[in-house]
Amino acid sequence: MRGDELGQRSETVRRANLAAIVRQLHARGPQSRSTLVSRTGLTRSAIRGLIGELAAAGLVSERAPAPLGTPGRPSPMVRLNPERATVLALEIAVDSLAAALVGIGGRVVAIDRVDRQRGHTSVEEVAADLAELARRVVPAGHDPATLVAIGVAMVAVVRRDDGLVAMAPNLGWTDVPLGARLAAALGTRIPIVVANEADLGALAEHRRGAAVDVDDVVYISGEVGVGGGIIVAGQALTGVAGYAGEIGHMPLNPNGLPCHCGSVGCWETEVGERALLRRAGHPVDGGGRAAVDAVLAEASAGVPRAREALAEVGRWLGTGLAGLVNIFNPELVVLGGLLGRIHPYVAATVAAEVHRRALPAPRELVRIVPASLGVDAPLLGAAELAFEPLLADPAAWLGARGVVPELASA
C-alpha cells in the first residue's frame, strides 16, 4: 500500500470518527469523554483530538462535570451547541400543518401547529401556509448559515430519490415535486427533503421515543388512513423507490369495503378513523380528533355501541398485527396517531387476537406499545431526516460553511 493511499484512508477514517462522535452526541445527549470512548471504540487520545476540532468549529462545548464524589479526575462533559446547526421541520397532516425549528441534539427551539380543513387543496396554498408557519418558528435573529436543511413529513406516497409526492389522496395530489414548490414559496436554496409521515414517525420513535435501542420495529400511524414506518436491523425499510411500508393497504378482508386506493378490504378500511366512527354510529365525514374523542368518552361511560366498535377495531388491528409479526419478526410494534390513542381501550383485544393468529416463535418476542412522542412524531422525524447530511459527514458540512477552513481541505 502506498503512502498516499494510507494518507487518504487516514483522512477518511478521521472524518468517519468525527461523524461517529457527532452522531453519538446527537442521539444520546451530553456525555463524558469516557462514555464517548466506550461507545465509539476510539482511543482516549483520538477522542481528545477530534473533540478539539469540533469545539474549534463551534459545534460542541465541553464543561467540567459536577463532582461525583468518586476518586479520580472526572471526565469533562461534551455537548452539542444546538444554535450552531439547525433544521426547519414541516408537516402536512390530514387535519393540520406544523413547523418546528430544531437544533442539533434534538432541541426544539420553537414549534407551531395550525388546524387545516380536510379535503383537496392546491400545492400553492399549502406551500404558502407552510411558509407563513415557518416564519413564525424561525426567530428574527436566526443565522441562516446555521440552517442545515428543511425536512418535510407528509401523509403521502413519496419517492425517496427526489421527494416527489407520487400520491397524496387526502389532498388530491399526484406526482407533485413538493420540494421545488416549497423552495419557491420559502424563497430558499437550502436543501429540502420530503418523506412519508409514518416513515418519519418511525425514525423519531427509534431515535428519541418508544423504540430507542430497538432495531426491528414496526411503527403504525393511524388516522383516516393507516401507514407504516418499518425499521429493519436498525435501518429504515424503503423498498426500491421509497414507497415501502404501506401496510394500511394489506388486503385483509377480500369481501370488505371499498378503499380509496381502488382496492377492497384494505386494513385501513377496518381500523382507520372511519371504521371506528361508522361502527360507533357517529358521522364518518368530518371526523378528526374531537370525533374520535367522543367515541372514547362514550366507551368510558359504558355505551355498548362505542365499546363494541372499539372491540371490533381491536380485533381487526390484532389480525393485521399478527400478519406483520409473522412477516417482520419485530421486537417492538409502536402504535401512533389514532391507534396510539385508542390503545388503552383495545390492548387486551389486540393481544388476544395476536395470540390467536401469530406464530408462537415471533409472537413470544414482540411487545406492542403506544407511541411516546404523540402527534409530533412525524414532525420530529422530519427534523432528524434533515440532520442526516450533517450527521453523515460533519467535516464536509462545517467545511462548506467556510467557518473552519481546515475542515474543508479533505
> Could you say which of 27, 131, 138, 167 contacts a copy of itself (CB under 8 A)?
167
Distances (CA, A) of 33 to 64, 176, 259: 11, 46, 54
Nearer of residues 105 and 228 to a copy of itself, judged by Cβ: 228
Nearer of residues 239 and 344 to a copy of itself, judged by Cβ: 239
Taking the chain, what is the end-to-end CA distance rounded to the nearest angstrom? 20
- Yes or no: say if 311 and 265 are a contact pair by the CB < 8 Å rule: no
Judged by CB under 8 A, does residue 38 bind a copy of itself?
A: no
Interface segment toward a copy of itself; rule CB under 8 A; list 199-207, 333-341, 353-361, 401-409: 353-361
Judged by CB under 8 A, does residue 159 bind a copy of itself?
A: yes
Judged by CB under 8 A, does residue 114 bind a copy of itself?
A: no
Judged by CB under 8 A, does residue 330 bind a copy of itself?
A: yes
- Yes or no: say if 314 and 322 are a contact pair by the CB < 8 Å rule: no
Judged by CB under 8 A, does residue 264 bind a copy of itself?
A: yes
Q: Which three cell numbers stand for residue 278?
A: 361508522
> Could you say which of 66, 140, 240, 301 contacts a copy of itself (CB under 8 A)?
240
DSSP symbol at 73: P
Judged by CB under 8 A, does residue 369 bind a copy of itself?
A: no
Nearer of residues 5 and 285 to a copy of itself, judged by Cβ: 5
Q: Closest Cα partner for 51 from 26, 12, 96, 17?
A: 17
CB of 203 to a copy of itself, least distance (A): 16
Q: Which residues, numbered 59-78, are part of the site for a copy of itself (CB under 8 A)?
A: none
Judged by CB under 8 A, does residue 166 bind a copy of itself?
A: yes
Q: Closest Cα partner for 17 from 2, 44, 4?
A: 44
Pairing of strands 332-336, 217-222: parallel
Nearer of residues 86 and 319 to a copy of itself, judged by Cβ: 319
Backbone angles phi, psi at 335, to 5 degrees: -95, 120
Judged by CB under 8 A, does residue 239 bind a copy of itself?
A: yes
Judged by CB under 8 A, does residue 362 bind a copy of itself?
A: yes
Secondary structure (3-state) at 69: coil
- Yes or no: say if 196 and 158 are a contact pair by the CB < 8 Å rule: yes
CB of 4 to a copy of itself, least distance (A): 10
What is the rounded CA–CA span in Å between residue 193 and residue 152?
Answer: 6
Nearer of residues 267 and 397 to a copy of itself, judged by Cβ: 267
What is the rounded CA–CA span in Å between residue 390 and residue 380?
Answer: 16
Judged by CB under 8 A, does residue 212 bind a copy of itself?
A: no
Give the count of beta carbons closer than 10 Å to the beta carbon of residue 44: 11
Nearer of residues 242 and 381 to a copy of itself, judged by Cβ: 242
> Could you say which of 66, 68, 140, 233 contacts a copy of itself (CB under 8 A)?
233
DSSP string, 147-214: EEEEEEEESSEE-TTT--EEEETTTTEEEE-HHHHHHHHHT--S-EEEEEHHHHHHHHHHHHSTTTT-
Nearer of residues 131 and 243 to a copy of itself, judged by Cβ: 243
Judged by CB under 8 A, does residue 251 bind a copy of itself?
A: yes
Count, residues near a copy of itself per rule CB under 8 A:
61
Secondary structure (3-state) at 296: helix
Judged by CB under 8 A, does residue 9 bind a copy of itself?
A: yes
Contact footprint for a copy of itself (CB under 8 A)? 1-2, 5-6, 9-10, 13-14, 43, 45-46, 157, 159, 166-167, 215-216, 228, 232-233, 235, 237-247, 249-255, 261-264, 319-320, 322-323, 326-331, 356-362, 365
